[in-house]
Structure 1
Amino acid sequence: MRIDAHQHFWIFNAERDAWITDEMAAIQRNFLPTDLAPQLKENGIDAVVAVQASQSPEETQFLIDLSVMYAMIKGVVGWVDLQADDIADQLAHYKQFPIVKGFRHVIEGEEDPDFLSRPSFLRGITALTAYDYTYDLLIRPRHYESTLACVAANPAQRFVLDHMAKPNIRAKEFEEWAAFIEKLAAFPNVHCKVSALVTEADWENWTLDDFKPYIHHAIACFGKERVMFGTDWPVCLVAATYAEVMAVAEHSLEGFTNDERQAFWGANAVNFYNL
């Protein structure tokens, strides 16, 4: 199967979704599985992992409900308050929904550089491990050190880095990001999504070659068995079509065997999320 390991659905709410600014007007509307289905068919994608876009229990239930109606959704990465005193009870509740594979917090929106090192947050990660849930890392450079500390403290937890840690491709910043990727990839329990890169580049003037050094470095560090493809649809639409996002990844897979290509386009996501 070919899997899009990272995409979103929402019923647009201007107040809740304030992160979708006016310069992103193209995605200031509803996006549901019926909007995505034609893109999957045209681009040969069989199934998707739906990832939370807002931070509430209602968001997680919304994605669960969609998965009941649309077979394309093979996994859900929801939101839960990892710092809650009753986190174990909340995770036990979600065990009745096998479609829920893991959780994510929008760390990139947290100004505290040490958010991932908070005792309350680390207690939540310990609970995720106990209940066999994955955790998606969505971070910015200010979180590099606490990310490494969090991962080091939780060797049994399955982590996946969203969007290759969002390197600043537009400004061609590389060295600090590359050093972080090398350090993070040294932990064998961390995987990486090759996703959302177009929105970190010049939205109007990017070229396929802009992304190659970043993708090549991530693959060199994580290895071909720990990288997976995702589009970040519909966010990607501010800078590229679904097909163009696939082309960005395809352009950097030189030397992949057929088995390695199948792993990148699907099998690695199936294995990581237990789809």
Structure 2
Amino acid sequence: MRIDSHHHFIDYSEAEYPWIDDNHAAIRRSFFPEELKSVLDTHNMDGSVVVQARESLQETKWLIQLADQNDWIKGVVGWVDLCADDIEQQLQELVQLSPKFKGVRHVLQGESDDRFMLREDFRRGISKLAPLGLTYDILIFEKHLPYAIELVKQFPTTAFVIDHIAKPVIKEQSFAKWNEDIRKIAEYPNVCCKVSGMVTEAHWGQWKAADFAPYLEAVYAAFGADRLMFGSDWPVCTLSGTYSEVYQLVDTFIAQLPAEDQSKIMGETCVKFYGL
């Protein structure tokens, strides 16, 4: 099964999506399932996993509703306040709402405290995921990787996946420290990585395929195909490249790999990780 492991839907309003500022004017509109479905069909993708774009329980329930209405949306990674006193109850309600609710994500990259993920109340919330069969998507910048390593070390039974290869500053070809830390976090077998979100870390609309080669080679060396999954990051990716361009970047890289590894990266790893 070929799966896009990471995309978003947007029911746009200025109040609900404050992060879509003037720099993101190209995506200052709504993006719904029917638009993505046509793109997925063009690239022979069998389905997808939709990921939260707002820190809102309302959005999480909306994404679950969309998934239940569209068979090809195989899973939902939503938002819930992991620091809430009643976090276990909230998670249980979402699990009962739909079997397509697969995991949780918090916008850690947006927190003013780089160590937010190591707060006691946040870690308490993380501890409630594995018993319910839920995963956690780690959304960070490369500077957060040392703290992410500390987090995953404390929860060996929780399935983690790093979004967007931890957002190295590709436009500056920042590599050495990121590579060192990505190798360290890959030492933990409960951690996977999404080959996604790279074009928006490069010079928007001005990048070339060679810009990404060292990063793709590094995550493949660190995680192997068993723990790598393709994600488009649509529609955010369109700020810097089309879905086809993002797809082609990964497809060209994996073309040199064994067929078995290609199948894993383009879907099988995602299916296994999220239990699709």
Cα distance in structure 2, aligned partners of 1:66 and 1:36:
12
The answer to whether residue 198 in structure 2 is matched with residue 202 in structure 1 is no
The equivalent of 1:114 in structure 2 is 115
Structure 1 residue runs of 4 or more that deviate by more than 3 Å after TM superposition: none
Give the letter for the 1:70 counterpart: N
Cα distance in structure 1, aligned partners of 2:143 and 2:166:
11
| Matched-pair contact (CA < 8 Å) for 1:208–1:251 | no
Cα distance in structure 2, aligned partners of 1:141 and 1:3:
26
Two-structure CA RMSD over aligned residues (Å): 1.0
| Matched-pair contact (CA < 8 Å) for 2:145–2:182 | no
Cα distance in structure 2, aligned partners of 1:87 and 1:244:
39
The equivalent of 2:72 in structure 1 is 72
Matches within 5 A, 1:43-82: 43-82=43-82
| Matched-pair contact (CA < 8 Å) for 2:232–2:246 | yes
The equivalent of 2:33 in structure 1 is 33
The equivalent of 1:187 in structure 2 is 188
Structure 2, unaligned stretches of length 5 or more? Answer: none
Give the letter for the 1:48 counterpart: S
Q: CA deviation at 1:141?
A: 3.2
Cα distance in structure 2, aligned partners of 1:77 and 1:118:
22
Cα distance in structure 1, aligned partners of 2:21 and 2:72:
29
The equivalent of 1:168 in structure 2 is 169
Identity score, percent: 44
| Matched-pair contact (CA < 8 Å) for 2:200–2:240 | yes
Tell me the matched-pair count.
275
Give the letter for the 1:35 counterpart: E
| Matched-pair contact (CA < 8 Å) for 1:212–1:251 | no
Cα distance in structure 1, aligned partners of 2:194 and 2:215:
12
Give the letter for the 2:87 counterpart: I
The answer to whether residue 171 in structure 2 is matched with residue 151 in structure 1 is no
Q: CA deviation at 1:18?
A: 1.5
Question: 86-95 vs 49-58, which deviates more?
Answer: 86-95
| Matched-pair contact (CA < 8 Å) for 1:103–1:134 | yes
The answer to whether residue 22 in structure 2 is matched with residue 22 in structure 1 is yes
TM-score by length of 2: 0.97
The equivalent of 1:214 in structure 2 is 215
Give the letter for the 1:271 counterpart: K
Q: CA deviation at 1:251?
A: 2.3
Cα distance in structure 1, aligned partners of 2:123 and 2:23:
36
Q: CA deviation at 1:25?
A: 1.4
The answer to whether residue 263 in structure 2 is matched with residue 262 in structure 1 is yes
Q: CA deviation at 1:204?
A: 2.2
Structure 1, unaligned stretches of length 5 or more? Answer: none
Q: CA deviation at 1:46?
A: 1.2
Give the letter for the 2:179 counterpart: A
Q: Secondary structure at the match of 1:211?
A: helix
| Matched-pair contact (CA < 8 Å) for 1:140–1:165 | yes
Q: CA deviation at 1:195?
A: 0.3
The answer to whether residue 216 in structure 2 is matched with residue 240 in structure 1 is no
Give the letter for the 1:25 counterpart: A
TM-score by length of 1: 0.98
Q: CA deviation at 1:254?
A: 4.8
The equivalent of 1:87 in structure 2 is 87
Cα distance in structure 2, aligned partners of 1:157 and 1:14:
35
